[in-house]
Each structure stands twice: as structure tokens, then as C-alpha cells.
Amino acid sequence: MALYAIGDTHLSLTSDKPMDVFGGGWTGYVDKLEEGFRVVSQEDTVVVCGDISWGMSLEEAKEDFAFLDALPGGRKLLLKGNHDYWWTTASKMKAFFQENGFSTLDILHNNCHLYGDTALCGTRGWFYEEDRGAHSAKVFNRELIRLEASLKAAGDREKLCFLHYPPLYQGYRCQEILDLLERYGVGLCCYGHLHGASHRMAVTGRQGRVDYRLVAADYVGFRPVCIL
């Protein structure tokens, strides 16, 4: 049994936004994901750090979910990304997965999941520094509440955190999120969102007491990263 993480699968099997148009590492990325997931066994857990499907609704994203569900891994925990427009309420998503037989899919949102004695926590996060309008402040504060709720749900267990947005990169620090990770004793934080030339802005390695890792699909060669 192992724990893996990967972000930004950007699937588009029934919508017209394939990432192949960006060329470079994204050419043939669906095949690369199938190949990359061969490192995963059916007993393993995979956390997918947002930007999962370009579908605009659950129904439009159905084939993308079917693709993910069929990949190796007995449990796949999905986070919301900034392009996951299909995302709706937890009850609707869980019901949709159940109705369509997507038995390996679940969500990491306002909750935590256990991997042995380790708690898997997380939320989307937010680039608050990019827009300080009233709406952005409201969304940002909601994300802080969600992250703290997830961390509190873990109790005194060892905690790993998964975000979509990076809480820090070159020239940017989301101090409120960084403070939460430190306060709750998070040992590792994985994040996605950064692509292409933005990879060079990523902060990886230990900062304070937390180890940070970028797991965006094109950064990790479309192969889930083994965490534990």
C-alpha cells in the first residue's frame, strides 16, 4: 500500500479543451497519464490536486471521471482546482460517483481522509494577492476556514496537506495559509497549478517546518509522485 499525489490532469475527453494544443510536454498527455499510473497498484491511494477535468458539469465530465476511475489505484481523492467548473456540492458529487459506479473516486473538501494513522487534509487555496477585491477576500477567507476545518478534523494525527494553488512561490507568500500549516504541524504540503515556464517559480523543499512539493502533472512527467 502506498500514497501518491499528482495535480492538473486537465482531462478533456468529451469537451473541446485538450491540453495537447500547448505542445511540449502536453502532447499525448492522456497516454502519458495512462503510462504514468502504471507505478500505482490497486491497493494504493492517489490524491489529485485539482484541475481534474475541463467539463462544465458533472455530466460533461463523466468520461473524464470514468478514465480516472479505471486507472490503477483503489482510492483517488479529488481536490477542487480553479478550472474545475463541474464541481458542485459534496452530496451531489458523491451521489453522481455512486450512480455511475465510480467506486475509486472521493473528494477531499471540508474533511480529511486517513491513510493508516496519517491524516490527508486539504482544500483548493487561493491567490489572494492577485485580486484584493471584496469578492476575492470572501473566497479567500472561505478557503482558510475550509483548510482549518480539514486540519482540525485530523485531530492529533500526523498531517499531510494537499492544495491546488501553491501557498508560496518566488515573489509570493500566502502567509495566512503558511501559518495554518505551521500551527497544525503539517509535515508535507503538495500543490499544483504551476505549468510550463512557471515551474521555475516553484518553491520546493523545506520552508520552516513544512516540506513543499510541486506535483503538477507536466512537472512530474505525468507520473504520480510516491509520498508514503
Q: Which residue has the cell 512537472?
A: 219
Q: What is the DSSP string of 118-164?
A: EEEEEE----GGG--SHHHHHHHHHHHHHHHHHHHHTTTSEEEEEES
For the four alpha carbons of 57, 60, 66 and 72, in that order, the dihedral sign comes to negative
| CA–CA dist 38, 22 (Å, integer) | 25
Q: Which CATH superfamily is domain 3-226 in?
A: Metallo-dependent phosphatases (3.60.21.10)
Domain boundaries along the sequence of the chain: 3-226
* pLDDT confidence of residue 14: 87
pLDDT, tens digit (0-9, with 9 covering 90-100), for 170-197: 888 899 999 999 999 999 999 999 998 8
Quote the pTM value: 0.95
| CA–CA dist 45, 75 (Å, integer) | 5
Give the confidence band of 36 by pLDDT, cuts at 50, 70, 90.
very high
Q: What's the mean per-residue pLDDT of the chain?
A: 93
| CA–CA dist 166, 98 (Å, integer) | 31
| CA–CA dist 224, 228 (Å, integer) | 12
Residue 131 has pLDDT above 70, yes or no: no
pLDDT, tens digit (0-9, with 9 covering 90-100), for 46-90: 999 999 999 999 999 999 999 999 999 999 999 999 999 999 999
Give the confidence band of 124 by pLDDT, cuts at 50, 70, 90.
very high
